[in-house]
Structure 1
Amino acid sequence: MRDTTINEVSRAGRNDAFGRSALVALAVFLSMFSAAAAEPEDVWLLSTRGAPRCGVLENAADNIAHRKLLDGCRCGAADPADFQTDDQTPIVVYIHGNNTEADEAVFKGMYAYQTIRSAVGCRSFRFVIWSWPAGRVCRRHRDDVNLKAGYCDVDGYYLAVWLDRLPPAAKVSLIGHSFGPRIISNALELLAGGEVAGRRLPEDIAGNWREGKRNSFRAVFLAAAIDADWLAPQSRYGNALSLVEEVLISQNCCDRALRFYPRVHGCDWSEAMGYLGPTGIGNPSKVRVVDVSCTVGKPHNWRGYCSAANIFSQWSRFVFLDDE
């Protein structure tokens, strides 16, 4: 693993999968938190921003770039093999939403990390910021959203392949905001043996997950920009809940962005899950819906959802799989 100081980060090449601005943001956050941290934080940055968006996606795991936060002023490029973990330390994967540049992904991810850290105290966990190509591409908002929806299908495949490489008994929590739940749902559907955008995982991989040879997940869907019924049986992600122990889903009928979800996606009949709540769920015992309309209100931004009181109180349960 090669160390990178703050000065070196500022000289990072433009061809880096993370982008120069993302590395600068990462270094800034490291320096901000170094005074308070007694030991290096276990935080990783994984990026698919330089990965292929179409085709067969062979050697998918090799296209996920890894960086590790080393201490208060350094980050380092890391080999995927360096991501070693035991079965006892929970892994928390945070996935941001659309209209997020590489540097913004770091700031959002570190805000999420600090919020969760303040909620769970000194208990150890590994935090992963999953950075996908969510920067603005198209001039028209509707065109850009639909393009990113396709990107989410691809990133779901990358996430599924990466999750399958973790130890079978690893404790993993998946946290997504806006389009983040779409990526998570895609990954779960693939791991359960389903098909997403014409892609499937090999049957031996999916079989291990279906047969319970791997630990199930807990997930948190905040302001989920997916159709309200997509987790229902026979729907787009009808197999996803089979791999989930429990999922927390926020509902906010005041969210301005989710209010226009049907219009943006060109289907007047389908509301967003984060706006209406999940519908048609086959096993409602796995789903916990939290209404944040009063605590979050109209904004769609990550900070409001992440730190809402009725979400904040759930972090320990969904990070450490604690039972109430």
Structure 2
Amino acid sequence: QCGSISTLSSDDWITNAEDTRRLWLVVHGNRIDSGEAVVFMRAFRQTADQLGLDGQFVLWSWPSEEIVRGIARDSRLKAARADLEASLLASWLARHRIPGPVVLVGYSFGARTVLRAIAQLQSEKQSAGSENVSAISDPNSDPEFVLFLIAPAIDAATFDRFVDQAIERGVRLRIVVTVNRSDPALRWYRPLWTCHGPDALGWQGPYCRTVQNLNGSLKVLNVTRQVGHTHRWETYLLAPAIRHSFQMLDSVSLP
């Protein structure tokens, strides 16, 4: 059924992981409660159906609903929570055998989670290897990863550091980053920390040296004109550049 969602237990997942189709694991952003998270994932699944994407689709939902008054304070707390959530995601990836390629889609603060998780993955695998027989312990069996970062609410220096850590630890990686110079939430990211804080990756884009160092493994999508003055995930999912990139990922194997 188009856009349908079903619940799986851990045992069900291990059985279904024999499927070698691409795994699309989606992490939502800030200020989304559990009901809105389901709406978010249903919309993503419907987008996938419209584009003819094949694979398994998993929502990684984290507690991002408002917890304190004041968007600045609440957002700083959520940034820390999104970073902590990465350890859980890395542990989950390490403890489940995933034979096919993996696309980690992170929206807004969800991009923080997938970036940090991929940097921690090899450490988690070493830990999981001695605890769980279903963990991936053979480096040659590691899946290929794509990080698709939509409106990423993380700074370029941290992005650099996590990507370097992942590559140094042998993770096979390709990255897509969206940039929207009109996104009001991402424009506000800098004063979220201090008046001289770092700009958001999704507003500024990656450093030129990062693009050069990744040598074709990093694709930057400038969606400023297509998305415009909004941070709404619904509008981002409608952007032609993002939809086209989803289709390209689904049809091309990673190097």
| Structure with higher RCO (Cα < 8 A, 6+ apart) | 2
Q: Paired residue for 2:32? A: 100
Q: Deviations over 1:138-170 (max 9, x none)?
A: 101111111111111221011111111232523
Task: Tell me the C-alpha RMSD between the 2 structures.
Answer: 2.6
CA distance in 2, matches of 1:91, 1:290: 22
Other-structure match for 1:130: 60
Where does structure 2 lack aligned partners over 5 or more consecutive residues?
130-135
Q: How many residue pairs were aligned?
A: 243
- State the alpha-carbon separation in 1 of the partners of residues 20 and 138 from structure 2: 22
Q: Partner letter of residue 32 of structure 2?
A: T
Matched, 1:239 2:170: no
Q: Is the 8 A contact 2:104 2:147 kept in 1?
A: yes
- Mapped to 1, the partners of 2:120 and 2:78 lie a distance apart of 19
CA contact (8 A) 1:296 1:304 kept: yes
The 1:143/1:173 distance shift into structure 2, 3 A limit, reads: same
Decide which of 70, 73, 83 is 1:143's aligned counterpart. 73
For 1:137 and 1:204, the matched residues in 2 are separated by 33
The one of 75, 82, 88 equivalent to 2:12 is 82
Gaps of 5+ in 1: 1-33, 45-67, 69-77, 194-199
The corresponding residue for 1:119 is: 51
Q: Is the 8 A contact 2:94 2:128 kept in 1?
A: no
1:209 deviation in Å?
7.5
Relative to the length of structure 1, the TM-score reads: 0.68
1:231–1:240 contact (8 Å) kept in structure 2: no
For residues 288 and 217 of structure 1, the distance between their equivalents in structure 2, rounded to whole angstroms, comes to 14
Question: Which residue, 252, 255, 259 being the options, matches 2:187?
Answer: 259
SS at match of 1:100: coil
Asked if the contact 1:192/1:210 (under 8 Å) is kept, the reply is no
Instruction: Quote how far apart the aligned CAs of 1:132 are.
Output: 0.4
CA deviations on 1:66-116 (whole Å, 9 max, x unpaired) are xx1xxxxxxxxx420111222422211111100101101110111111112
Conserved? CA contact 1:90–1:125, under 8 Å: yes
Contact 1:93 1:175 in 2 (8 A): yes
Quick one: structure 1 residues 263 and 177, their matched pair in 2 at CA, closer, same or farther if it must change by over 3 Å? same
Q: Is the 8 A contact 2:112 2:153 kept in 1?
A: yes
SS at match of 1:175: strand
Alignment partners' CA distance in 2, 1:223 and 1:299 = 10
Name which of structure 1's ranges 164-173 and 153-162 shifts more when overlaid on structure 2.
164-173
- What letter is aligned with 2:151? A
Aligned residue in 2 for 1:293: 224
Cα deviation, 1:189-220, whole Å, max 9, x if unaligned, reads 10144xxxxxx664675xx7794441120121
Following superposition, the deviation at residue 229 of structure 1 comes to 2.3
Match of 1:169 in 2: 99
What amino acid sits opposite 1:88 in the alignment?
Answer: T
Q: CA deviation at 1:187?
A: 0.6
TM-score w.r.t. the length of structure 2 is 0.85
The percentage of counterpart residues that share the same residue type is 26
The structure whose residues are more often strand, as a share, is 1
Structural mapping, 1:151-166, within 5 Å: 151-166=81-96
Q: Does 1:316 align with 2:247?
A: yes
Comparing both structures, which one devotes a greater share of its residues to helix? 2
1:17 corresponds to which residue? none
Q: Which residue of 2 aligns with 1:10?
A: none
Residue aligned with 1:129, SS: strand
Label 1:215 to 1:143 Cα distance change in 2 as closer, same or farther (>3 A). same
**Shift in Å at residue 312 of structure 1?**
0.7
Task: Kindly report which structure 2 residues correspond to 1:275-286, keeping only aligned pairs within 5 A, or say none.
Answer: 275-279=203-207, 280-281=209-210, 282-286=213-217
Secondary structure of 1:295's aligned partner = helix
Counterpart of 2:99 in structure 1: which amino acid? A
* Alignment equivalent of 2:233, drawn from 302, 305, 312: 302
Asked if the contact 2:28–2:37 (Cα under 8 Å) also holds between the matched residues in 1, the reply is yes
Larger Rg: 1 or 2?
Answer: 1
Which residue is 2:132 aligned to? none
The whole-number CA distance in structure 1 between the counterparts of 2:159 and 2:32 is 25
User: Does 1:273 pair with 2:210?
Assistant: no
- Work out whether residues 90 and 126 of structure 1, in 8 Å CA contact, stay in contact via their aligned partners in 2: yes
The match for 1:248 is: 176
